[in-house]
Amino acid sequence: RKEVEQDPGPFNVPEGATVAFNCTYSNSASQSFFWYRQDCRKEPKLLMSVYSSGNEDGRFTAQLNRASQYISLLIRDSKLSDSATYLCVVGDSGGSYIPTFGRGTSLIVHP
Amino acid sequence: EAQVTQNPRYLITVTGKKLTVTCSQNMNHEYMSWYRQDPGLGLRQIYYSMNVEVTDKGDVPEGYKVSRKEKRNFPLILESPSPNQTSLYFCASRGPNSPLHFGNGTRLTVT
């Protein structure tokens, strides 16, 4: 079975902290990678795609390490509003990928 | 506005009473999928469809049926619901090489 593993947390950090999540995947042929954010009882929403060269969107940075088969998400200067569950999603091939979800990492940012 | 629409948002029913949860997308996406989400178990795929008249089982298909008679619609059918199908359900769709878009979710309770 193709697996995507995440540390469930919760990660409990103060405002302003930097926090990093990792996600490992078992299928070396995976080609599509995403981070989603999910608030309690709401639908997952795309946070960012993850590109081979790494990419940044404001306070968020995503990295891909194909050799070690993991992706990471770094959140700088955490805000209270960043509190959510972060889901790692990995696709098994290119355009027609079937996505596999990790179980999510819970982040709690406190004052 | 590009969106995935699920109905109903909330549904309480009794064991054995057939029900259908509708899902519609307006983005001309070929791929559509149904997930259920339960505490501690993350998102689990029920069924997916790569195109019209093409459907496949996901990880937890037992007790569910789907159909894909037209590209925009992908209803989830529970012929004889049971209490263990009480869950939060999400429909999602995506285009080629693009991330999933989720509907708002359907919270189903089977008594």
Cis bond upstream, residue A10 (ω within 30) = yes
pLDDT computed for residue A59 by the predictor: 98
Which residue of B lies nearest to A9 if distances are taken between CA atoms?
B40
pLDDT computed for residue A94 by the predictor: 61
B102 Cβ under 8 Å from any chain A Cβ: yes
pLDDT computed for residue B19 by the predictor: 97
pLDDT computed for residue A41 by the predictor: 86
pLDDT computed for residue A2 by the predictor: 61
Residues in chain B closer than 8 A to A102 (CB atoms): 42
Q: Residue B60 and residue A26: Cα distance in Å, rounded?
A: 20
Residues in chain A closer than 8 A to B103 (CB atoms): 43
Tell how strand B101-102 and strand B87-94 pair up: antiparallel
**What's the sign of the alpha-carbon dihedral A104, B31, A34, B90?**
negative
B37–chain A nearest CA distance, Å: 9
DSSP helix/strand/coil, A82: helix
B34 Cβ under 8 Å from any chain A Cβ: no
Which residue of A lies nearest to B88 if distances are taken between CA atoms?
A41
Cβ of B48 within 8 Å of Cβ of A102? The answer is no
DSSP helix/strand/coil, B4: strand
pLDDT computed for residue A96 by the predictor: 65
Q: Residue B102: which of A41, A44, A96 has the nearest Cβ?
A: A44
**Residue reference for tokens 């008679």:** B69
Which residues in chain A land under pLDDT 50?
none
Please provide the average confidence, as pLDDT, over all residues in chain B. Answer: 95
The more confident residue out of B1 and B108 is B108
Which DSSP symbol is given to B62? T
A 10 A CB-CB count for B109 gives: 14
Quick: pLDDT tens for B24-72.
999 999 999 999 999 888 899 999 999 999 999 999 999 999 999 999 9
- The residues with which A37 forms a beta bridge, in sequence order, are A45, A86
Q: Residue A47 and residue A36: Cα distance in Å, rounded?
A: 5
Cβ of B41 within 8 Å of Cβ of A42? The answer is no
Q: Which of A43, A48, A89, A105 to mutate to test the interface with B (most CBs of B within 10 A)?
A: A43
pLDDT computed for residue A29 by the predictor: 87
Which residue of B lies nearest to A8 if distances are taken between CA atoms?
B40
3-state SS of A46-79 is EEEECCCCCEEECCEEEEEECCCCEEEEEECCCC
Cβ of A41 within 8 Å of Cβ of B100? The answer is no
DSSP helix/strand/coil, B83: helix
Whether the Cβ atoms of residue A6 and residue A105 lie closer than 8 Å to each other: yes
Q: Residue B21 and residue B110: Cα distance in Å, rounded?
A: 14
Cβ of B107 within 8 Å of Cβ of A41? The answer is yes
A65–chain B nearest CA distance, Å: 20
